[in-house]
Amino acid sequence: MEPARHCKAQITSEPAGRDGRRLSYILVSRMTPTPPRLTLLDRLIEGLDRGLRTVAAANVAARPNPAGATAESVSEPQARRRAAGLMRVNHAGEIAAQALYHGQALTARNPEVRRALLDAARDETDHLAWCEQRVRELGDRTSLLAPLWYAGSFAIGALAGLAGDRTSLGFVAETERQVIEHLESHMHELPADDERSRRIVEQMQSDEARHGSEARAAGGHELPRPVRELMRRTARVMTVTAFRV
């Protein structure tokens, strides 16, 4: 079946010839296709594609790396391993954040909420690329369990979306609040001279704070305390594991 189309009328006129009179107006119909409405299955396939690109492909940031031209200052092997472990945890967290947003977008009911979630996910792509670059600079690798972090977080995000858009937005706000606390702890744990990692983490904190405030402003509900505690414990399992694996 042909997709629905809009007609836009354009009025033109042309000279008629020797008698100097003008032809009647000509109505020109210009047909422009409208985007097809995506089904749940379509969005599920899109989500699978995003997941594969997040986990398996090289992520490219849309914004410059906050570390910029800051010189590398971490030279002691133990300090480099410590910094790499912390940035690997941050990278795993960004994998999970991507998956949460993608899962929530899959089951969001309001198209505006869905678009906002996917916009936030694009910021997380920047974080993902910056963290991966920093881990490589420190001579280490990202977490081997990235597919697991993505799959589990995508399922959690989809369930949050099924609970309703306001609950889903509340989930975003609480997630970002806990992420900011986690990043703040890393600012204290990173080697004192690791300025490159610190600049990345500072920008991530700023972005996460914005995502959280936007979710609250959009009507996100505060989650029950048991849910918040469960989220915290789940995140703790991931951070401890990703630091080493």
User: Is 6 part of any domain?
Assistant: no
Q: Residue 15: what pLDDT?
A: 45
**pLDDT bucket at 63, cuts 50 / 70 / 90:** very high
Q: Which helix (H) or strand (E) holds 225?
A: helix 225-244
User: Is 22 part of any domain?
Assistant: no
User: Is 152 part of any domain?
Assistant: yes
**pLDDT bucket at 124, cuts 50 / 70 / 90:** confident
User: Is 168 part of any domain?
Assistant: yes
User: Is 236 part of any domain?
Assistant: yes
Tens digit of pLDDT for each residue in 8-44?
Answer: 333 333 444 444 444 333 333 344 454 566 676 666 6
Q: Which two tokens stand for residue 219?
A: 């009507």
Which of 21-25, 43-47, 61-65 holds the top average pLDDT?
A: 61-65
Range of the domain at 136: 40-244
Q: Residue 123: what pLDDT?
A: 83
The burial class, CB within 10 Å (0-12 / 13-18 / 19+), for 148 is middle
The answer, yes or no, to whether residue 103 has pLDDT greater than 60, is: yes
Q: Residue 70 maps to which CATH number? A: 1.20.1260.10
Backbone angles phi, psi at 30, to 5 degrees: -110, 120
Query: How confident is the prediction for the chain on average, in pLDDT?
Result: 83
**Higher-confidence residue: 89 or 9?**
89
User: Is 123 part of any domain?
Assistant: yes
Split into its structural domains, the chain has a count of: 1
At 12 the three-state DSSP class reads strand
Tell me which residue of 124, 138, 127 sits closest to 85, measured CA to CA: 138
54 close to 148: Cβ distance less than 8 angstroms = no
User: Is 46 part of any domain?
Assistant: yes
User: Is 32 part of any domain?
Assistant: no
